[in-house]
Chain A
Amino acid sequence: MTSVLVKDLTLQFGALTVLDNLNIDIPEGEFLVLLGASGCGKSTLLNCIAGLLDVTDGEIHINDRNVTWEEPSGRGIGMVFQSYALYPQMTVEGNLSFGLKNARMPKAEIKQRVARAAEILQIEPLLHRKPAALSGGQRQRVAIGRALVRDVDVFLFDEPLSNLDAKLRADLRVEIKRLHHSLKNTMIYVTHDQVEAMTLADRIAIMKSGLIQQLDTPTEIYNRPINKYVAGFIGSPEINFFKGEIEGTEFVTEGHRFSLQGYEFEKPTTSGSAWLGVRPEHIMTGPAAKGLAVTTQAEVEIVEPMGSDTLAWAKLGGMSVRIRMDGQAAVKTGDQITIGFDPARASLFDTDTELRL
């Protein structure tokens, strides 16, 4: 069953088109992440779904009901904001019950729902505190609780973890995932952090200048990015791009000939200029590189040891290549190393359209 349906959504501020004829169909219980750089329209899209922005054109359906003209409170959504947006003058309990009081719910039921939400989020000892007396993580939990008590069908998260420090962010990320597993609600989550997107999402929608570039599972997006932008956006460290020509079953770049044996073309291609994208973690070194379809020699330029793994920059002709190596790899600047990759894991993009070949 469709939970959220966005149909031909367009939003313009004056002459500026922020969202352009967008269509998304989100099945019930799905965790959809809207991912993109700042200014790509992802938060705007979320605000449109929430009803906080009037759309220029198009429809929004939630649970098979056209809610395009509904007030935010009448759409069956709960929203969690980046700045938490807790009401500073109310206690945690007041914050949680505000929406229910507005809906004129009986006192006994409000109490019961607040208690349940507090239990799920483990914020019971905090109920009588003011937001100012809470830590960042606790505040965000209360903010999630405010959506939880309203017993809504769809949860909207607007960069909820961006204001937290790295460790807390990782903890709360897991908690949100756990929450999704137990509640099984539809969740739409906006972020610019690809780790959050990859770990949380059932599907990711990558957005750029008001358009969805690719809407697919994290695995598909990582392995088979639909265009050069998506390939460059997903993955850290960033994917290596080589500009060159396809010649039969080979890719020629600056004098190097890479075999394309095993690469699955979208449609058979044997010529034309293209970008070859190879992820740093797919480049093997040393003995592991030996058996691969593409092997070559490179000189190590810079080594960045990070403990869990080591990032090396190697010179391949005039090009610089990022290679992700084992954390214990003993390499130093100036070393000659053997590198290689499997073309089946690489990506080819047309230089003109930047689409996947």
Chain B
Amino acid sequence: MAEALTPRGPKPRRRFSRTNIMLYGTLIVFALYYALPLYVMIVTSLKGMPEIRMGNIFSPPVEVTFQPWVKAWAEACTGINCEGLSRGFGNSVKILIPSLILSIAIASVNGYALANWRFKGSEVFFTILIIGAFIPYQVMLYPLVIILRELGLYGSVWGLVLVHTVFGMPILTLLFRNYFTSVPEELFKAARVDGAGFWGIYFRIMLPMSLPIFVVAMILQVTGIWNDFLFGVIYTKPAHYPMTVQLNNIVNSVQGVKEYNVNMAATLLTGLVPLIIYFASGKLFVRGIAAGAVKG
């Protein structure tokens, strides 16, 4: 028995207690579980085909080569054209940027109106909008094809932009409405007494306070739209296929040898944009929340 200590100051804690071992053990197992596929993909994409055929998928590359990445980006073939993923990347950007701006712009104004300018039937309107989020996409696929055809947008990038904007609306509106509801009502009242109107309050009071929620909305939309496959394949022509559709075409087109390294590189390239968004805006996100936390 150790000599009795007088309890004073911070209570000493055992680093290797049973709870800690359990806790960290579980965490490490799960981290490995999720990190391993990524590791295999990266390693494989840096190997040459002869090395892959040897079969050690977990071993690091003996000879590092970036050729698969170059091929995936610029040379891989889908059907007759051999431009690699670069064209799909361009298409995805062309789809993403307008969809992102449009959907966030409209949804934020929607949310603002629903939170601060209650009008007759606004609750009903909101409920209908939210129900829209629960209707399965499959039900709407064909009607949307007809609508787009009638609008003359079928097969174009703008048609797909419209689809993304519409499908992003329920969840984004909900997001913005809830955020704006949490802004103190007195702030809104003060602005009205100060003579600011609907747009004045939106642009000069609400917008500057809402950076965090805009970042959240952006993350949601960028990942959602970038990762979309279904709408891309249905509502556009091959010339406008987004990156995901093209990735699928590259990976699934079987001509001679299956080039695992190119497939892995192509997949990683496609996943890069959402990944970068997470890493880049993660910081902005935290900073945004910190700035918003200081209430006036």
Show the binding face of A for B, using Cβ within 8 Å.
Answer: 47, 50-52, 71-74, 77-79, 81-89, 98-99, 102-103, 130-132, 139, 146, 150, 158
Contact = CB atoms under 8 A, between A and B. Distances in A.
Given A88-B209, A88-B294, A89-B209, A79 B193 contact: yes
B191 to A, nearest CB: 7
Contact of B192 (A72, A89, A132, A150): A72
Contacts of A131: 296
9 contacts: A81-B189, A85-B190, A87-B205, A88-B294, A98-B191, A102-B196, A102-B200, A103-B195, A150-B194
Interface in B239-296: 294-296
A208 B84 CA distance: 76
A73 B193 contact: yes
Interface in B168-208: 184, 186-187, 189-196, 200, 204-205, 208
Contact of A85 (B186, B195, B196, B209): B186
Nearest to A53: B189
Nearest to A142: B296
A52, A83, A84, A85: most-surrounded residue (chain B CB, <10 A): A85
A219 B190 CA distance: 34
A86 B188 CA distance: 10
A73 B209 CA distance: 23
B106 to A, nearest CB: 23
A82 B189 CA distance: 12
Contacts of A158: 186
A76 B226 CA distance: 52
A75 to B, nearest CB: 9
Nearest to A156: B193
Contacts of B193: 50, 52, 72-73, 77-79, 99
B195 A102 contact: yes
B194 to A, nearest CB: 4
B195 A73 contact: yes
Contacts of A73: 192-196
A327 to B, nearest CB: 40
Looking at chain B's contact residues, the main secondary structure is helix
B194 A102 contact: yes
Contacts of A82: 186
Contacts of A99: 193-195
Contacts of B186: 81-83, 85, 158
A248 B214 CA distance: 76
Contacts of A146: 190, 194
A82 B187 CA distance: 11
B44 to A, nearest CB: 49
Given A72-B192, A78-B193, A85-B184, 9 more contacts: A52-B189, A71-B195, A73-B194, A77-B193, A81-B190, A89-B208, A99-B194, A132-B295, A158-B186
A74, A77, A88, A150: most-surrounded residue (chain B CB, <10 A): A88
Contacts of B295: 88, 132
Nearest to A131: B296
B191, B193, B196: most-surrounded residue (chain A CB, <10 A): B193
A83 B295 CA distance: 10
Contact of B189 (A71, A85, A86): A85
B195 to A, nearest CB: 3
B195 A79 contact: no
5 A-B pairs closest in CB distance: A73-B195, A88-B296, A99-B194, A131-B296, A102-B195
A98 B209 contact: no
A87 B184 contact: no
A47 B188 CA distance: 13
A248 B295 CA distance: 63
B261 to A, nearest CB: 50
B187 to A, nearest CB: 5
A132 B295 CA distance: 7
Contacts of B209: 88-89
Contacts of A79: 189-190, 193
A167 to B, nearest CB: 23
Contacts of B191: 87, 98
Contacts of A78: 193
B117 to A, nearest CB: 12
A287 to B, nearest CB: 54
B282 to A, nearest CB: 23
A85 to B, nearest CB: 4
A335 to B, nearest CB: 48
B192 A85 contact: no
A78 B189 CA distance: 11
B12 to A, nearest CB: 39
A88 B184 CA distance: 11
B296 A132 contact: yes
